[in-house]
Amino acid sequence: MHFESVLTLSDVLKRPVFQKARVVAGKNGLNRRIRWVHILEVSQFDTLIHGEEMILFTGINFQSSSVSPVSYLQKLIELNASCLCVEMGYYFDTIPKEMIRLADQHDFPLIALPAGIRFVDITQDLHSLIINRHYHMLKNLENLSREFHRLTLAPKGISNILKLLYQRTKSQIIYVPLKGKAFLMPSLDPGEQEELLDFIRTKLRLESSSETHPIPYSWPYKQKTILLHPVRAMGQTWAFIGMLCEGKPAEYDCLILDWSSLSIAQDLLRKRYIEERRLHSENVWVDDLLRKRISEEQIRYHLGTDYKELKDLKSLVCLIEIRNWNEIELEPSLDVHEFIRYDFSLMIRSTFEQYGFRPFITINNDRIAIVAFDRKPAQPLKPRFRQVVASIQRLGSGEKMGLSLNIGAGQSYPGFTHAHLSYQEAGQVLTVNTSQQKTFLFYEEIGVFQLILNLREEGNILQSFVHNYLGPLIEHDRQKGSNLLYTLKVYLDHDGSKKEAAQHLFIVRQSLYYRLEKIKELLGDNFMSPENKLALQVALRACQLFYPELLAQQAEETDPSPQ
Please report which residue ranges of 377-524 form alpha helices under DSSP H: 381-396, 419-435, 449-455, 461-480, 484-493, 498-505, 509-523
- Residue-wise pLDDT for 422-445, tens only, equals 999 999 999 888 877 678 899 999
Contact call for residues 103 and 73 (beta carbons, < 8 A): yes
Identify whether residues 300 and 432 lie together within a single domain.
yes
302 class by beta-carbon count within 10 Å (0-12 exposed, 13-18 middle, 19+ buried)? middle
Whole-number pLDDT of residue 89: 80
Q: Which of 446, 481, 508 is the last residue of a domain?
A: 446
pLDDT band at 562 (very low <50, low <70, confident <90, very high): very low
Whole-number pLDDT of residue 175: 92
Q: What CATH number is attached to the domain comprising 437?
A: 3.30.70.270
Identify whether residues 196 and 264 lie together within a single domain.
yes
Domain contains 556: no
> What one-letter code names the amino acid at 375?
R
Closest Cα to residue 130, out of 166, 72, 82?
A: 82
- Residue-wise pLDDT for 496-531, tens only, equals 899 999 998 899 989 999 999 999 999 988 888 888
Whole-number pLDDT of residue 162: 87
Domain contains 138: no
Q: Is the pLDDT of residue 333 over 70?
A: no
Task: Report the percent of the chain where pLDDT is more than 70.
Answer: 90
Identify whether residues 365 and 480 lie together within a single domain.
no
> SS3 string of 346-360?
HHHHHHHHHCCEEEE
DSSP assignment letter at 291: T
Identify whether residues 81 and 161 lie together within a single domain.
no
In sequence order, the 6+-apart residues with CB closer than 8 A to the CB of 59 are 69, 86, 87, 90, 91, 92
Domain contains 76: yes
Q: Which of 387, 413, 446 is the last residue of a domain?
A: 446
Q: Which helix (H) or strand (E) holds 242?
A: strand 236-245
Q: What is the DSSP string of 165-198?
A: HHHHH-SEEEEEESSS--EEES---HHHHHHHHH
> What one-letter code names the amino acid at 66?
S
- Residue-wise pLDDT for 457-505, tens only, equals 665 788 888 889 999 998 998 888 888 998 999 999 898 899 999 998 8
Domain contains 141: no
> What one-letter code names the amino acid at 540?
L
Helices 157-169 and 119-152, axial angle in degrees (round to 10): 160
Contact call for residues 3 and 167 (beta carbons, < 8 A): no
Identify whether residues 401 and 466 lie together within a single domain.
no
Domain contains 315: yes
Whole-number pLDDT of residue 313: 95
Domain contains 383: yes
Distances (CA, A) of 514 to 268, 369, 485: 66, 48, 14
198 class by beta-carbon count within 10 Å (0-12 exposed, 13-18 middle, 19+ buried)? exposed
Identify whether residues 27 and 56 lie together within a single domain.
yes
Task: Report how far residue 344's alpha carbon sits from residue 338's, in angstroms, rounded to the nearest whole number.
Answer: 9
Whole-number pLDDT of residue 66: 66
Q: What CATH number is attached to the domain comprising 218?
A: 3.30.450.240
pLDDT band at 345 (very low <50, low <70, confident <90, very high): confident
Beta bridge partners of 236: 233
Widest Cα–Cα separation across the chain: 108
What is the rounded average pLDDT of the residues 201-223?
Answer: 78
Whole-number pLDDT of residue 464: 86
Q: Measure the CA angle with vertex 282, ends 280 and 283; round to 5°.
A: 65
Whole-number pLDDT of residue 519: 92
pLDDT band at 217 (very low <50, low <70, confident <90, very high): confident
Identify whether residues 252 and 298 lie together within a single domain.
no
Beta bridge partners of 316: 372
What is the rounded average pLDDT of the residues 358-386?
Answer: 92
Q: Which helix (H) or strand (E) holds 369?
A: strand 367-374
In sequence order, the 6+-apart residues with CB closer than 8 A to the CB of 153 are none
Q: Is the pLDDT of residue 410 over 60?
A: yes
What is the rounded average pLDDT of the residues 44-66?
Answer: 79
Q: What CATH number is attached to the domain comprising 88?
A: 3.40.1390.20
**Phi, psi at residue 435, to the nearest 5°?**
-100, 0
Mean pLDDT is highest, among 18-32, 330-344, 387-401, for: 18-32
Q: Is the pLDDT of residue 414 over 90?
A: yes
The residue range of the domain holding 195 is: 153-270
Whole-number pLDDT of residue 1: 43
Whole-number pLDDT of residue 561: 39
- Residue-wise pLDDT for 230-257, tens only, equals 998 877 788 999 998 887 787 778 888 8
Q: Is the pLDDT of residue 271 over 90?
A: no
Number of domains the chain contains: 4
What is the rounded average pLDDT of the residues 198-224?
Answer: 80
Whether residue 414 has a cis bond before it, omega within 30° of 0: no
- Residue-wise pLDDT for 141-179, tens only, equals 888 888 888 887 777 778 888 888 888 888 899 999 888
Identify whether residues 480 and 337 lie together within a single domain.
no
Sign of CA dihedral 28, 33, 38, 43: negative
Whole-number pLDDT of residue 85: 92
Whole-number pLDDT of residue 218: 86
Domain contains 558: no
> SS3 string of 244-278?
EECCCCCHHHHHHHHHHHHHHHHHHHHHHHHHHHH
Identify whether residues 296 and 429 lie together within a single domain.
yes
Task: Report how far residue 459's alpha carbon sits from residue 448's, in angstroms, rounded to the nearest whole number.
Answer: 18
Q: Which of 237, 270, 303 is the last residue of a domain?
A: 270
Distances (CA, A) of 127 to 18, 121, 123: 14, 10, 6
Identify whether residues 211 and 318 lie together within a single domain.
no
Whole-number pLDDT of residue 558: 36
Identify whether residues 414 and 360 lie together within a single domain.
yes
Identify whether residues 255 and 303 lie together within a single domain.
no
Domain contains 317: yes
Mean pLDDT over the full length of the chain? 84
